[in-house]
């Protein structure tokens, strides 16, 4: 079923059929109706490739997400999907499994397929890769920190400040031996969180204990393993653990329970992300509320702006607010009184 057949059965030329589809106002109402009727009747759908060959616009964007296991990324994806969909774009969701090579391959596939733009979430790409995409003439937006300091539109939060605030809160709760469990990805964000952690301790006059900085895979299991290490430190065991993601924090909580210790009482836990299940934990997880959905929304809007603006956008950086979400897992303010 192609445009020729429609033309023939409607008794018009292919050009007219094409016009009915693309510029209906330029064709006489009677002809238009007739052609439309035939199109409907025969269930004709223009060939996507032939169309693309002429337009070179696909109304498709690519969304690269590090992991499907982490609900945090899924919340971002939800925001992107929502905007893209409401503006008539289709989203190609690609899971990079925190693997740079896979990320590169996906990007190449996407560009080959002439997608209109790409959103990279917490990308592991080098600056050169990011420049390369730009060179290939594909619109591009970043969500979350990235290695490059390229002039690419970006949406993010202040990871450094948020981590600093989080650790300060643990200090305010009376905790003194504060450890940190950080994921091996996303690298840039975690580095900033480490800096925030160190600064908070320094400001409070505490030394940095390198044994208190444990890295593992950014999963529940990773958090578990890291926490077991910390809890095995005997008398030096920390009384609070700051995790760089809620997923890690879940693993930390599990490890605390398995060590027959009490969460909050014996060891406080602070997460990062505020994914939906984090307040179903027992005790409810205190965490940094990262506006994941809104980051997706903003990122998608930004990308569509870039795509639809003729001359491109000079520069754009959106920094969203991350607030502390204080719940039960980090111990109570009351404890401060016990200590002082």
Name the site residues for DNA (rule: CB under 7 A): 2-4, 11-19, 21-23, 26-28, 30-32, 44, 46-47, 50-51, 53-55
- DSSP class of 267: B
203: CB partners within 8 A, 6+ apart: 168
Instruction: Let me know if 112 is exposed, middle or buried by CB neighbors in 10 A (0-12, 13-18, 19+).
Output: exposed
Q: What's the residue count for the chain? A: 340
Q: How far is CA 305 from CA 34, 293, 311, 314, 316, in A?
A: 38, 18, 11, 12, 11
Q: How far is the CB of 196 from a copy of itself (least distance, A)?
A: 26
Residue 48: helix, strand or coil by DSSP? helix
Distance CA 80, CA 163 (A): 25
In angstroms and rounded to an integer, the radius of gyration of the C-alpha atoms of the chain is 26
Maximum pairwise Cα distance, the chain = 92
- For a copy of itself, give the closer residue by CB, 71 or 238: 71
Among a copy of itself, DNA, none, the one that 21 touches (CB under a kind-dependent 5 to 8 A) is: DNA
Among a copy of itself, DNA, none, the one that 81 touches (CB under a kind-dependent 5 to 8 A) is: a copy of itself
Of residues 219 through 248, those in contact with a copy of itself by CB under 8 A are 220
Binding map of a copy of itself across residues 249-288, x = CB under 8 A, - = no contact: -x--xx--x------------------xx--xxx------
Tokens at 130, concatenated: 């990011």
- For DNA, give the closer residue by CB, 13 or 90: 13
Among DNA, a copy of itself, none, the one that 92 touches (CB under a kind-dependent 5 to 8 A) is: a copy of itself
- For a copy of itself, give the closer residue by CB, 110 or 201: 110
Q: How far is the CB of 13 from DNA (least distance, A)?
A: 3
Q: How far is the CB of 263 from a copy of itself (least distance, A)?
A: 9
Q: How far is the CB of 36 from DNA (least distance, A)?
A: 12
Tokens at 219, concatenated: 């999963």
Q: What angle do CA 234, 238, 239 make, to 5 degrees?
A: 120
- For a copy of itself, give the closer residue by CB, 99 or 215: 99
Among DNA, a copy of itself, none, the one that 3 touches (CB under a kind-dependent 5 to 8 A) is: DNA
- For DNA, give the closer residue by CB, 137 or 260: 137
Distance CA 255, CA 180 (A): 14
Q: Which secondary structure element, helix H or strand E, spans residue 115, and what is its range? A: none
Binding site for a copy of itself (CB under 8 A): 45-53, 56, 68-69, 71, 74, 77-78, 81, 90, 92-95, 109, 111-114, 220, 250, 253-254, 257, 276-277, 280-282
């Amino acid at each position: 079923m192609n445009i020729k057949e429609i033309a023939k059965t409607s008794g018009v030329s292919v050009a007219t059929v094409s016009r009915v589809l693309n510029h209906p106002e330029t064709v006489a109402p009677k002809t238009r109706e007739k052609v439309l009727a035939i199109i409907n009747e025969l269930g004709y759908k223009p060939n996507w490739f032939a169309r693309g060959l002429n337009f070179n616009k696909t109304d498709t964007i690519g969304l690269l997400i590090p992991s499907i296991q982490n609900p945090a990324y899924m919340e971002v994806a939800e925001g992107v999907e929502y905007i893209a969909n409401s503006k008539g774009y289709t989203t190609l969701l690609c899971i990079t499994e925190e693997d740079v090579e896979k990320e590169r391959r996906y990007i190449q596939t996407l560009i080959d397929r002439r997608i209109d733009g790409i959103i990279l979430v917490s990308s592991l790409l080098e600056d050169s890769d990011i420049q390369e995409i730009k060179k290939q003439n594909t619109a591009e937006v970043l969500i979350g920190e990235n290695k490059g300091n390229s002039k690419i539109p970006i949406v993010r939060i202040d990871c450094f400040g948020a981590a600093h605030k989080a650790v300060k809160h643990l200090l305010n709760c009376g905790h003194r031996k504060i450890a940190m469990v950080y994921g091996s990805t996303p690298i840039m964000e975690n580095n900033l969180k480490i800096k925030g952690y160190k600064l908070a301790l320094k400001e409070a006059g505490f030394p940095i204990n390198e044994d208190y900085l444990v890295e593992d895979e950014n999963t529940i299991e990773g958090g578990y393993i890291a926490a077991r290490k910390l809890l095995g430190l005997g008398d030096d065991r920390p009384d609070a653990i700051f995790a760089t993601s809620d997923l890690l924090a879940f693993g930390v909580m599990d490890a605390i329970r398995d060590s027959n210790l009490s969460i909050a009482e014996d060891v406080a836990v602070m997460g990062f992300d505020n994914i939906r299940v984090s307040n179903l934990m027992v005790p409810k997880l205190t965490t940094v509320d990262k506006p994941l959905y809104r980051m997706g929304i903003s990122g998608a809007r930004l990308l569509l702006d870039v795509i639809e603006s003729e001359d491109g956008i000079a520069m754009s950086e959106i920094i969203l607010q991350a607030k502390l979400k204080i719940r039960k897992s980090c111990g109570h303010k009351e404890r401060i009184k016990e200590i002082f």
